[in-house]
Amino acid sequence: MAENPFKDVRVLDLSMFWAGATCGQILADLGMEVIKIESCSHPDPDRIVTQGLLYLHNELGDKPWNRGMLHLRRNRNKLGITLDLSSSEGRRIFFKLARISDIVVENFRRGVLERLGIDYPVLKEINPLIILVSLSSQGETGPEREYGSNAEILAFLSGLRSVSDYPDEVGLFTATNIPDPLAGTVAAGLALSALRYRSRTGRGLHIVLSQRELLTACIGDIIMDYSMNRRIPAPMGNTHPFYAPHGVYKCRGEDRWIAIAVRNEKEWLALCKLMGNPELSGNPDFATPLKRWLNRDKLDNIITNWTSLHDAKELMRTLQKNGVPASALFSPSELLRDEHLQKRGFWEKVNDPRPGFGTYICKGRSFGLSRMPMKTYRRAPDLGEHNYYVYKELLGLSDEEIRNLEEMGVIGEIPDPAVMERIPKNLPKKRSI
């Protein structure tokens, strides 16, 4: 096996939550030494996520902040230290770390790095080769630069949500899935490109990703319609601009559905044959792709009458076997036992030797590399777990200096009382599956 070109790259990961963590995790997956920096007053909120009270095995243990399930998933392969950046001592130590590091990742609100006195001009002084990767909400400039966001807000502001809706009403739903990991993945790609640039030019630099602009870029073709024709596209729901039938159809059982998309005559005839419905094949209303599209509501009703009698997954297999694009709408439990994902090894089993942790399942990666297979070689860190390694071995501080830092509260392994208050005292019972 050839040498991994990333193994001597060191990353300081100041990010919290999802987008920045994804960036740091990809870099760690590739073999870089990624040091996640938190503090006792501001541990990553994913450690104590109250959202759905997600603690490993639904148990709080004696240190619940190390059991937050989102933290366990999003910070695999990273080292973890604590450092209070708001103290002058903390800042001084951060500078020492920056001097021996290659990349810094952060996703603070704009203005925070300046207030902490660790913004790019300062870091550049200390280490001209440093690459600072900022996952900002809306960029470094412009009137809305300091506005805060999360995935939903970005979807609203980018225009994505306006084209992802029901045709007949504004749906009162929340959607959070794509924006964060999208931004984290692109940021990791940019960080890698910057490393390549640095090795060729000998120059570090500051990358500022605007998460809102990235999402707008992902509906760029729709923006082009406005640019060309001043047209504001109406949301199309599950309708395709020219394919029909195309949509989700009710199946047997509670909240069970199948998605079907017919793109050509061959797929249409295969669907008709399977449905065996004389209303369809001979019907002039559905004789051409255009007629099917124009009469799609009527067509959807006929298809729903058929699908609602069937099991979604069985129907998926039958349709696909006959060359019709279709998929059941998978639920979490179905995904976890899905044969395809298991055969591909998507799910990762993490063996965690800490008492009470045991084995747990994490989602896999969004891409695979044949020569650098990515897997978890180090489970997500306890709060401050690698303080000694980093401060003593990397920075050469003495035991006494480290003890002083602990006493001053600059570093530590236990969250501050104000954080502890937000941790639940007990958890609702796990539902039987």
Contacting another protein within 264-323 (CB under 8 A): 267, 320, 323
Other C-beta atoms closer than 10 Å to the C-beta of 191 total 25
Contacts 24+ apart (CB under 8 A), 165-170: 165/235, 165/237, 166/235, 166/237, 167/234, 167/235, 167/236, 167/237, 167/239, 168/237
What the block records as the tokens of 429 is 């019972």
Other Cβ atoms closer than 10 A to 35 = 24
Task: Choose the stretch contacting another protein; rule: CB under 8 A; options: 85-93, 141-149, 279-287, 397-405.
Answer: 141-149
User: With respect to another protein, which residue has the nearer C-beta, 9 or 410?
Assistant: 9
Smallest distance, another protein to C-beta of residue 342, A:
9
Q: Tokens at residue 51, please?
A: 């959202």
Where on the phi/psi map is residue 184: left (φ > 0), alpha (ψ -120 to 50), or beta? alpha
Which of 248, 269, 302, 402 binds another protein (CB under 8 A)? It is 248
User: Which residues on adjacent β-strands are paired with residue 12?
Assistant: 35, 104
Under rule CB under 8 A, residue 142 binds another protein: yes
- Among 175, 287, 290, 408, which residue interacts with another protein (rule: CB under 8 A)? 175
- In the region spanning residues 46 to 65, those forming contacts with another protein, defined by CB under 8 A, are 50-58
Part in contact with another protein (CB under 8 A); list of ranges 84-92, 339-347, 388-396, 402-410: 339-347
With binding defined as CB under 8 A, does residue 425 bind another protein? no
Binding to another protein (CB under 8 A) within 376-405 occurs at none
Please, which residue, 233 or 289, has the CB nearer to another protein? Answer: 233
Q: C-beta of 82: minimal distance to another protein in Å?
A: 21
What residues numbered 17-36 form the site for another protein, per CB under 8 A?
A: 18, 26, 30
Judged by beta carbon, residue 226 or residue 389, the one nearer another protein is 226
Q: Is the peptide bond before 128 cis (omega within 30 degrees of 0)?
A: no
State yes or no: residue 326 binds another protein (CB under 8 A): yes
Q: Which two tokens stand for residue 104?
A: 């810094």
- Closer residue to another protein (CB): 17 or 391: 17
Of the residues 202, 278, 284, 332, which one makes contact with another protein according to CB under 8 A: 332
- For residue 138, the 8-state DSSP code is S
Q: Quote the CA–CA distance of 72 and 56 in Å, as a whole number.
A: 8
Rounded Cα distance between 6 and 372, Å, is: 11
Strand order in the sheet with 326-328: 246-250, 257-261, 326-328
Specify the stretch interacting with another protein by CB under 8 A; choose among 36-44, 259-267, 281-289, 399-407: 259-267
- Judged by CB under 8 A, does residue 95 bind another protein? no
Cβ atoms within 10 Å, residue 112: 15
Contact status: 333 vs another protein (CB under 8 A): yes
Closer residue to another protein, CB minimum distance, 232 or 408: 232
Rounded to the nearest 10 degrees, how much is the dihedral formed by the CA atoms of 119, 36, 64, 148? 40
Residue among 371, 400, 417, 421 that touches another protein (CB under 8 A): 371
The residue from 70, 98, 303, 411 that contacts another protein (CB under 8 A) is 70
Judged by CB under 8 A, does residue 214 bind another protein?
yes
Instruction: Give the number of other CB atoms < 10 A from CB of residue 416.
Output: 15
The answer to the question of residue 177 lying near another protein (CB under 8 A) is: yes
